[in-house]
């Protein structure tokens, strides 16, 4: 199932930022992810981060519960297929704390809630349709802003 974001805000395509975290900050991020996910965090980490108050997929809120459940299942299947094909990476879907989310985020049982650490230290700038990040073993990172479909997983 392929759906398009319905936001009326500016939607950025191919908007990437990259850099390097200090060793201490990269380790701190990995430690925090271990705490909130209860998973063993691999050397390479992918995060899809959803911001409170974002309206990217809100048009779907009028759809039936069955339809919403199907879209959530499709998104989770996409993530699981990637994890199965790449067992040496960690893939997480995380949302900012708050209650102003569309049904796709609110009802997704795979969504982890950030207590504020990632929002305050990593995902500093809100982007329409969320932001994804790839954190490499050496602390290098790549952000994909406005990544509605978690396409950073497909990037090289």
High-pLDDT (> 90) share of the chain, %: 64
Residue 94's DSSP bridge partners are 49, 112
DSSP labels, 83-137? HHH-TTEEEEEEEESSS---HHHHT-TTPEEE-SHHHHHT--S--TT-EEEEE-T
pLDDT in tens, 46-103: 999 999 988 777 778 889 999 999 999 999 999 999 999 999 999 999 999 998 988 9
Domain of residue 136, CATH code: 3.40.30
pLDDT in tens, 116-155: 999 999 999 888 888 999 999 999 999 998 877 788 888 7
* CA distance linking residue 50 with residue 113, whole number of Å: 10
The answer on pLDDT for 9 being more than 60 is: no
Kindly state whether residue 106 falls inside one of the protein's structural domains. yes
Kindly state whether residue 9 falls inside one of the protein's structural domains. no
Number of domains, the chain: 1
Give the domain range for residue 36.
16-154
Kindly state whether residue 5 falls inside one of the protein's structural domains. no
Kindly state whether residue 36 falls inside one of the protein's structural domains. yes
pLDDT in tens, 27-36: 999 999 999 9
pLDDT of residue 16: 83
Mean pLDDT, the chain, rounded, equals 87
**Could you tell me the pLDDT band of residue 4, with boundaries at 50, 70 and 90?**
very low
């Amino acid at each position: 199932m392929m759906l398009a974001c319905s936001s009326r805000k500016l939607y950025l395509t191919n908007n990437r930022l990259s850099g390097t975290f200090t060793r201490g900050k990269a380790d701190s991020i990995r430690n925090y992810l271990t705490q909130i996910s209860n998973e063993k965090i691999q050397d390479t980490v992918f995060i899809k981060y959803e911001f409170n108050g974002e309206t990217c997929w809100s048009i779907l809120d009028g759809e039936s519960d069955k339809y919403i459940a199907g879209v959530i299942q499709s998104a989770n299947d996409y993530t699981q297929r990637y994890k199965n094909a790449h067992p040496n990476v960690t893939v997480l879907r995380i949302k900012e704390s708050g209650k102003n989310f569309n049904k796709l985020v609110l009802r997704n049982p795979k969504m982890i809630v950030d207590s504020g650490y990632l929002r305050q230290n990593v995902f500093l700038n809100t982007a329409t349709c969320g932001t994804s990040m790839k954190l490499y073993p050496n602390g290098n990172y790549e952000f994909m802003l406005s990544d509605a479909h978690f396409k950073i997983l497909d990037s090289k």
